[in-house]
């Protein structure tokens, strides 16, 4: 997911890549840099989104060399959207492009399956997103501070991890603003528990003790 705040954007994702019920990678980095202050958050087919991201990186390098300046976030989002739309029958790619540029500040663009594009205040995607639409609608508010926005992203992704079997691992975050890019993560054992989750040792522990409210 990605969310804009007053001064930049915060992106966040879990780190699980699954193949059916098999966890192929526990520590995937789903937030990929496209340019210095533009990142893409990937969901769907890992192979599809990794290769699409590489193409967009290459196109942006050429564009920036010709322009003699950094690209805008919309330029990167439009390149990703065109590739997703033109190959929509062959790709399974849900994308979120976000970042900061000197013309528009922080901005978030949603590019869901099929290749449409929309500028939004925040966007969620991937299998875990189906579990947190109500939560994000409740918690979102305009003009958040950086700290509030980061807390919003971490809580939302943590809830998706708790409810979705295809989401898991740690939570990676990327804050992007005029001062640069700041990456962070929350280890899996430090993600806040959601009501009903099992915590602690199972052996010799009652069901009532194991269910720990958040």
Entry pTM: 0.89
The CATH architecture one would assign to domain 2-210 is 4-Layer Sandwich (3.60)
C-alpha distances out from residue 42 to 1, 64, 187, Å? 9, 23, 20
Give the single-character DSSP code of 121: S
pLDDT per residue, tens digit, the chain (214 aa), is 999 999 999 999 999 999 888 999 999 999 999 999 999 999 999 999 999 999 999 999 999 999 999 999 999 999 999 999 999 999 999 999 999 999 999 999 999 999 999 999 999 999 999 999 999 999 999 999 999 999 999 999 999 999 999 999 999 999 999 999 999 999 999 998 887 766 554 444 444 443 444 4
Structure tokens at 151: 């807390």
Per-domain residue ranges for the chain? Answer: 2-210
């Amino acid at each position: 997911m990605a969310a804009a705040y007053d001064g930049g954007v915060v992106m966040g994702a879990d780190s699980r890549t699954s193949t059916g019920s098999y966890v192929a990678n526990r520590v995937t980095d789903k937030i990929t840099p496209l340019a210095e202050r533009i990142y893409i958050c990937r969901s769907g087919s890992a192979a599809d989104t990794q290769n699409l991201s590489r193409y967009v990186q290459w196109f942006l390098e050429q564009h920036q060399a010709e322009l003699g300046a950094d690209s805008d976030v919309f330029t990167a989002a439009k390149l990703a959207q065109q590739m997703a739309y033109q190959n929509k029958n062959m790709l399974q790619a849900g994308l979120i492009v976000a970042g900061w540029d000197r013309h528009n500040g922080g901005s978030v663009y949603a590019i869901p399956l099929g290749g449409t594009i929309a500028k939004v205040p925040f966007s969620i995607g991937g299998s875990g997103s189906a579990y947190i639409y109500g939560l994000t609608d409740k918690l979102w508010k305009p003009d958040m501070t950086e700290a509030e926005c980061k807390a919003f992203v971490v809580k939302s992704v943590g809830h998706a991890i708790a409810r979705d079997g295809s989401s898991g691992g740690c939570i990676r975050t990327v804050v992007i603003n005029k001062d640069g890019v700041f990456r962070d993560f929350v280890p899996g054992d430090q993600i806040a528990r959601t009501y009903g989750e099992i915590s602690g040792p199972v052996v010799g522990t009652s069901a009532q003790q194991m269910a720990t409210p958040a």
